[in-house]
């Protein structure tokens, strides 16, 4: 269909620096799959592996590994490289490449048992860890309509992603496409593919992807952060204790949605007002309903769409999202026409898209609607988890506060230019994204060519599920992976990690287009909150853990106390 690139040489791991030497890359969501297929041992195998044992040392040192040194799937050892001078190897000739059917993996019955009877449907990220321990770094699985090859090793992931062609695909985004096709609406950057996708991304990347371009929106983000602080103080003052804020994730979700909407639409939509406008509230509710009904559409058979209400609710939710965005874009179009007639210069992201002439109006509608959903969960969930852990580790919180005091004068707020001088601030966000990757799985489909990984040949159109949670919790690269240790990202920390072991924003040309905006929002919001408050845990001692509902979220509301710091601006 399209000419692909050949497999590239694996690169060595860069030296670990202050930022941990990662590849660049808001992981794009997998709303169409909902539940990543991975499960326990196949029934009928006789001896079951112990799912509680520690993962074997499968991947060796944190460097690039040649193909012949990749671990054999389903084993706990790394094969030594074949010696070029070995007479036995020469006599044997080239090794036969195996097919996907020869990979280990759970059967349908075992998958059903683990997901629906053992309660892993909402803990599929944990199931990744168990599957990797049992089957090794690569395993096959079937879930719903999907036949998957699961990747649970950063070494294997690196070899896979370095074989990407010019137009890599995450998956076919079937559910999103069904809505667009049913309603005859345009595709956007998550649903488009091939050359059309590439053209879209080339336009959308401008004014967003480079750090210097993200700084164009620093004032807008700072304005929204200031409104967040106002709402935080209001919520705090309304509690009986005068310091407790309940369900901080809900407040931070509204902050993130207001922030990305302000950038995309160049107008405030009122998410942080005490009384949210009815139109905006309907929009927020529709986003939640769309993701909720995506799960049902993934796990239930297609015939059930005619007898159960989830499919109509799914379509109606998307209709509301599109209509909300279209209304704001049309408003901006009229405003721009007036500015051009008056000879005024236009600025802003939406103005750039509309004035560039490189996208049709339909393409702008489709792109903005999809971009709107891309970064909200990353910002809100990451900030919620970061505050939760800082409240429970006052030592780390104090280190961050002292860093802020050293960089930011006491009479002003943290600004974008302060962020590069605050390594602990950046490390806290990185560690939060490692422990709680917002999208615990991602996917790739290689339409252009066959793929070779180790001793396996995968035909084109194979769906690879990337088990990011398992990789970012790999104790080979992250000792004590369940512990929140931001210092592991600082310069001089003794444990190097593989550059593909934690890539929360994706990799390569499919990397999150809104990464720089999300990072700027998270850094500025966290810095402002810690500058103003000491954050303490829920006095009731409630422990919160993560569950997987397409994205990784808290299993119960995160309630925190915010104690005002004397003299804070």
**Pairing outcome for strands 244-245 and 456-458:** unpaired
- Provide the annotated binding site for heme: 512
DSSP run (H or E) holding 138: strand 138-143
- Provide the annotated binding site: 512
Tell me the C-alpha to C-alpha distance, in Å, between residue 254 and each of 272, 273, 276, 327, 481.
6, 10, 10, 20, 30
- Asked if residues 516 and 208 have their Cβ atoms less than 8 Å apart, the reply is yes
Which residues sit opposite 457 in a β-bridge? 452
Q: In angstroms, rounded to a whole number, what is the distance separating the alpha carbons of residues 191 and 177? A: 6
Widest CA span of the chain, in angstroms?
A: 82
Residue 87 burial by Cβ neighbours in a 10 Å radius (0-12, 13-18, 19+): exposed
Residue 446 burial by Cβ neighbours in a 10 Å radius (0-12, 13-18, 19+): buried
Long-range contacts of 352-355 (CB under 8 A, 24+ apart): 352/206, 352/207, 353/203, 353/204, 354/329
Nearest Cα to Cα of residue 236 among 220, 223, 219, 248:
248
Q: What is the pLDDT along the chain (569 residues), one digit of tens a residue?
A: 433 333 333 333 333 333 333 443 454 444 333 333 333 333 223 222 333 333 333 333 333 333 334 444 444 333 333 333 333 333 444 578 999 999 999 988 888 888 888 888 888 899 999 999 999 999 999 876 678 999 999 999 999 999 988 888 877 678 999 999 999 999 999 899 888 999 999 898 888 877 788 888 999 999 999 999 999 999 999 999 999 999 999 999 999 999 999 998 889 999 999 999 999 999 999 998 998 898 889 878 899 999 999 999 999 999 999 999 999 999 888 888 776 666 666 678 888 888 888 889 999 999 998 888 877 888 999 999 999 999 999 999 999 999 999 999 999 999 999 999 999 999 999 999 999 999 899 889 888 889 999 899 999 989 999 999 999 999 999 999 999 999 999 988 877 789 999 999 988 888 888 899 999 999 999 999 999 999 999 999 899 999 987 789 999 999 999 999 998 87
Q: Give the domain ranges of the chain.
A: 67-79+92-564
Domain 67-79+92-564 has CATH 1.10.630.10: yes
- Asked if residues 122 and 553 have their Cβ atoms less than 8 Å apart, the reply is no
- Asked if residues 218 and 212 have their Cβ atoms less than 8 Å apart, the reply is no
């Amino acid at each position: 269909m399209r000419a692909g690139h050949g497999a590239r040489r694996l690169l060595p791991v860069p030296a670990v620096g202050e930022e941990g030497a990662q590849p660049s890359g808001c992981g794009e969501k997998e709303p169409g799959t909902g539940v990543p297929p991975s499960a326990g041992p196949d029934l009928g195998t006789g001896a079951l592996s112990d799912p509680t044992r520690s993962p074997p040392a499968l991947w060796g040192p944190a460097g690039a590994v040649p193909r012949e040194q990749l671990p054999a799937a389903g084993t706990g050892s790394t094969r030594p490289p074949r010696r070029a001078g070995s007479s036995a190897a020469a006599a044997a000739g080239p090794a036969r490449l195996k097919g996907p059917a020869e990979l280990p993996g759970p059967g349908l019955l075992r998958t059903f048992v683990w997901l629906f009877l053992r309660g892993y449907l909402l803990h599929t990220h944990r199931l990744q860890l168990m599957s990797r321990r049992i089957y090794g770094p690569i395993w096959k699985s079937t879930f719903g309509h999907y036949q998957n090859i699961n990747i649970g090793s950063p070494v294997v992931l690196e070899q896979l992603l370095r074989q990407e062609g010019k137009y890599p695909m995450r998956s076919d985004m079937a559910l999103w496409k069904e809505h667009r096709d049913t309603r005859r609406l345009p595709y956007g950057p998550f649903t488009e593919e091939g050359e059309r996708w590439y053209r879209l991304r080339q336009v959308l990347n401008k004014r967003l992807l480079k750090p210097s371009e993200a700084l164009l929106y620093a004032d807008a983000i700072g304005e929204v952060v200031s409104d967040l602080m106002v709402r935080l103080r209001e919520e705090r003052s309304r509690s009986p204790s005068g310091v407790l804020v309940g369900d901080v994730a809900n407040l931070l979700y509204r902050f993130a949605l207001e922030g990305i909407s302000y950038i995309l639409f160049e107008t405030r939509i009122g998410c942080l007002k005490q009384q949210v406008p009815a139109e905006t509230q309907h929009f927020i509710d529709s986003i939640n309903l769309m993701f909720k009904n995506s799960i049902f559409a993934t796990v239930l058979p297609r015939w059930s769409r005619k007898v159960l209400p989830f499919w109509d609710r799914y379509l109606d939710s998307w209709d509301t999202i599109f209509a909300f965005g279209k209304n704001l874009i049309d408003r901006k179009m009229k405003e721009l026409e007036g500015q051009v007639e008056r000879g005024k210069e236009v600025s802003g992201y939406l103005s750039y898209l509309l004035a560039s002439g490189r996208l049709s109006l339909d393409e702008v509608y489709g792109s903005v609607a999809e971009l709107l959903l891309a970064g909200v969960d990353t910002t809100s969930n990451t900030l919620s988890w970061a505050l939760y852990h800082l409240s429970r580790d006052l030592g780390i919180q104090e280190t961050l506060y002292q860093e802020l005091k050293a960089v930011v004068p006491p009479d002003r707020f943290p600004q974008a230019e302060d962020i590069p001088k605050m390594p602990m601030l950046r490390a806290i966000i990185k560690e939060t994204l490692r422990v709680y990757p917002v999208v615990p799985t991602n996917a790739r489909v290689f339409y252009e060519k066959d793929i070779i990984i180790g001793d396996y040949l995968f035909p084109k159109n194979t769906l690879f599920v990337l088990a990011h949670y398992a990789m970012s919790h790999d104790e080979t690269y992250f000792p004590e992976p369940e512990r929140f240790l931001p210092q592991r990202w600082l310069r001089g920390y003794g444990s190097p990690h593989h550059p593909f072991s934690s890539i929360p924003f994706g990799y390569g040309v499919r990397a999150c287009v809104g990464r720089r905006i999300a990072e700027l929002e998270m850094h500025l919001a966290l810095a402002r909150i810690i500058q103003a408050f000491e954050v303490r845990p829920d006095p009731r001692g409630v422990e919160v853990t993560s569950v997987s509902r397409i994205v990784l979220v808290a299993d119960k509301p995160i309630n925190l106390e915010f104690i005002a710091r004397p003299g804070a601006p």
